[in-house]
Amino acid sequence: MPSLSNLLHVRQHLHVPRTTTNSFDKFICTHPITQNLRTNPRFTESRPHLRAPEFLRAPSLLGGSLAGSEKITVPPYIFHEKDGARCVMILHLGSHVCSHPSVVHGGLLATLLDESFAWCCFPYFAKKVGVTASLNINYRAPALANSYILLHAELVKLEGRKAWLEGRIETLEAGGADTTLIAEADALFVEPKQVDVSVFFDVSEFAGR
């Protein structure tokens, strides 16, 4: 089994799966927003939770514990802006991630925002890893279970070891219909001064960047 430190030096050139293996993948893959992102030369597509090896996925909250039927149904689709600071994440949430009946837990939405911010800013840190210093969220509307959502994240300022980000979650409606704003957020991420990189992995290794 490869060590985490070895993964920091080995780039995996894996093909990004584009097969529509089920109705959830099919909806996402055929959605106008996905198709527009795929044809936009400024963005690259990745499925990092598929690219990461099993020994990294298994203990992961989003890639392991919350992944699967009726949870985060299919591995998220992530689009990174080439040489830019924007990230778009598309996914489906099932019926077993709720707080109130049929309403997705707000803590999961916070986790998804935190995750999208990490994918957005980690590649800009020298050590390719950071920690969340603050995360502020304004919830605008409930996210319903068994629905598709769209996350936007943007790195708005980078200063030394600090990165400021802004983002939002919207519904992903069939046929490209108008979206509903679910939440808005801003965050501060910090690259630790002293960190043993062997206990982390470089997100760019699995993000197709």
pLDDT in tens, 152-189: 999 999 999 999 999 999 999 998 888 999 999 999 99
Identify the structural domains of the chain with CATH numbers, from first to last: 4-10+18-205 (3.10.129.10)
**pTM for the predicted model, two decimal places:** 0.80
8-state DSSP, 180: -
Provide the mean pLDDT of the chain. Answer: 83
Backbone angles phi, psi at 36, to 5 degrees: -65, -40
Describe the strand order of the beta sheet including 77-81 as a list of residue ranges: 43-46, 77-81, 86-93, 147-159, 162-171, 181-190, 131-139
pLDDT for 57: 66
Per-residue pLDDT averaged across 72-100, rounded?
A: 92
The residue ranking higher by pLDDT, 184 or 46, is 184
